[in-house]
Amino acid sequence: MSEAASAPVLEIKGPRATIRLNRPKHLNRLQSEDLGELMKLFDRIEADPAIRVLVLTGTGRAFSAGYDLNSVADRAISEKEQPSAGSAFEVVVNRLEDLGVPTICRLNGGVYGGSTDLALACDFRIGVDTAEMFMPAARLGLHYYKSGIKRYVSRLGVDNAKMLFLTAQKITAPEMLRIGYLTAMVPVAMLDEEVDRLATILAGNAPLAMRGMKRAINEFARGKLDDEAADLRHRESMRSAEIKEGIEAFAEKRPPRF
């Protein structure tokens, strides 16, 4: 993998898409120009029905050092004329959370600042046992954006969100696992195997059913479940091609082909 800094790169292999943050010399720090590129990649993934799962990862020894603080300061100056950097970054993270396909964050190393929320917006986070994280907002004098705080609270609970935001202290991979930030923790040598295992499971399940249930779960976590839409998706699934194939596969004792 090249050490040259570049925008995030996309690789598509079968039903799996991988987005790799690619500024290894700067611990994959995100620049303002990366935000638009990520949105384009998310749109491309969403528009391709052959893609069943997305893996988000980083190049080198860290997942990401977060959003460039100089970009935050520069854009905050012109806050009245355009969205602040926090708002622009927030839009990208929320878009990732709302992707229809299931998402896995492959945490190949440390995760810091805004990238902790980027990873948290993924459905699953598989990290190496040498990973670490911290959220330095309180140390920097930054009040974090609203949806990020909501995500921390809904995913990790009030006490853990307070511990991470208010102390700005670094925690290691075992603690990340204990508080529920990591879905799984593995040795470096097993990271790809564990990510591949989960990605294969997700890619093999019914895509429309998963998309609808993911949406309902996310809405419920935000306290904004659209009951009518969820009920409609449930009723439609009962007469869908997916459920027909699922029942036939179960009866025939074979994997379903969605």
Question: Averaged in consecutive runs of 10 residues, what is the pLDDT profile of the chain (258 residues)?
Answer: 73 97 94 94 97 97 90 50 68 97 98 97 98 96 95 97 98 98 98 98 97 97 94 96 96 95
Residue 20 CA to residue 41 CA, distance in Å, equals: 11
| Cα angle 88-43-215, degrees, rounded to a multiple of 5 | 85
CB 138 within 8 A of CB 168: yes
Residue 218 CA to residue 214 CA, distance in Å, equals: 6
pTM: 0.92
Residue 173 CA to residue 131 CA, distance in Å, equals: 5
In this structure, the number of other CB atoms found within 10 A of the CB of residue 2 comes to 9
In this structure, the number of other CB atoms found within 10 A of the CB of residue 237 comes to 16
User: Quick one: pLDDT at residue 87?
Assistant: 85
Residue 251 CA to residue 247 CA, distance in Å, equals: 6
What angle do helix axes 207-221 and 227-237 make, rounded to 10 degrees? 160
User: Quick one: pLDDT at residue 163?
Assistant: 98
DSSP 78-143: TTTTS--HHHHHHHHHHHHHT-SS-EEEEE-SEEETHHHHHHHTSSEEEEETT-EEE--HHHHTPP
User: Quick one: pLDDT at residue 1?
Assistant: 43
In this structure, the number of other CB atoms found within 10 A of the CB of residue 249 comes to 14
CB 116 within 8 A of CB 173: no
